[in-house]
Amino acid sequence: MMEVGHSEATPFRARIESIGRRLPDEHVTTEAVMQSTRHRTHVDLERLTGIHERRWVGDGEDSATLAVAAARDCLDHSSHAAEDLEVLIVCSISKYREGLAQQLEPPLSHHVRAAIGAHHAQVFDLANACAGMLTGVFLLNDRIRRGEIRCGMVVSGEDISSLARNAARHVRHVLSKELASLTLGDAGAATIVERAPDAEPGIGAAGFTTLAEHSRLCLAYPSKTEPGARMYTDSRGIHRMAIEDLPPLLREALDASGFALHDIDWVVPHQTSARAIRKGMSEVVQALGDEPRHPAVVTVDQYGNTASTSHFVALVDMLEDGRLRPGDRVALIALASGLEVGVVVMTVDEHLAASRGHDA
């Protein structure tokens, strides 16, 4: 499933107008996580993953508070007010509100709309594992291109550290199916997608494919013995299958945007582990016979795997330190349970580059 960004049939172009995030205050090192395990695992998780620390929610924080705070931060860095939003999509995997109670009905999007005052927005929740926020961008991009709306927000709050706390009671060795849960971090993120002004760059292409035959490589269930859930992941299997299927989709997205891989300044993959990102990018470069201008972006060392928010957590870092400049081309790559593989190709404009305090 591939969507091309601009054509006579769809005369409008969408762009990422602003990005917000909320990171919990509590820093938790990988050393502290491994010291909390019940069994002596002898696993050097920091060496395996490159993750030094992550953020975990504290008292009074949950999926809902992270999502609301990220949405407000996004508006603070936007030219839009909440009343301008025509659609608001919440893409959290975790939907905790007021503790470990999942709010499914009414959807969490209703709570976020009320909290930020987006009274005119159509709202709904969307669940697509760690590809959730990019899937929301895909949907808004499509509606904006067709002229149905001018402006919408995608937001997520991921309170997933309880999976790590539960896994710490059960992980025994490096092959444990719950080991990947120890890499998780909490975060909220939001982005506003709007119709781009005439002649301004924006989203060139967005496409996703689902490889359902691999759906059992990562599964989560309510825990029978602890609060919250437990997650079981075949990390090697997911990496192997995703990298096998990513190159053709990436090539298709680049072709639709009119770019080659060497035209791309930054590749921002889903943040699982530093080792997996670098090894995976090396395999993609080999498969395509081409490479981007910079190494793949890695922020998992600071924040852990923050699920559906990870791309936008990374983009805020890049905006704040001035790495993203007008004209930079960015490929956002989703590799998510399902198995979901997705690509969003975009060009940074002056407005976005300057949105978090750096001159364009």
In SS3 terms, the chain reads as CEEECCCCCCCCCEEEEEEEEECCCEEEEHHHHHHCCCCCCCCCHHHHHCCCEEEECCCCCCHHHHHHHHHHHHHHCCCCCHHHCCEEEECCCCCECCCCCECCCCCHHHHHHHHHCCCCCEEEECCECECHHHHHHHHHHHHHHCCCCCEEEEEEEECCHHHHHHHCCCCCCCCCCCHHHHHECCEEEEEEEEECCCCCCCEEEEEEEECHHHHHHEEEEECCCCCCEEEEECHHHHHHHHHHHHHHHHHHHHHHHCCCHHHCCEEEECCCCHHHHHHHHHHHHHHHCCCCCCCCCCCHHHHCECHHHHHHHHHHHHHHCCCCCCCCEEEEEEEECCCEEEEEEEECCHHHHCCCCCCC
Q: In the chain, which stretches have pLDDT less than 50?
A: 1-8, 360
Instruction: Give residue-wise pLDDT tens across range 32-79.
Output: 999 999 998 889 999 999 999 999 999 999 999 999 999 999 999 999
Q: What is the pTM for the complete model shown?
A: 0.93
Q: What is the pLDDT of residue 358?
A: 60
Instruction: Give me the architecture of the 2-353 domain, per CATH.
Output: 3-Layer(aba) Sandwich (3.40)
Domain boundaries, the chain: 2-353
Q: What is the pLDDT of residue 5?
A: 45
Instruction: Give residue-wise pLDDT tens across range 290-299.
Output: 999 999 999 9
Q: What is the pLDDT of residue 360?
A: 45
Q: What is the pLDDT of residue 224?
A: 87
Q: What is the pLDDT of residue 9?
A: 58
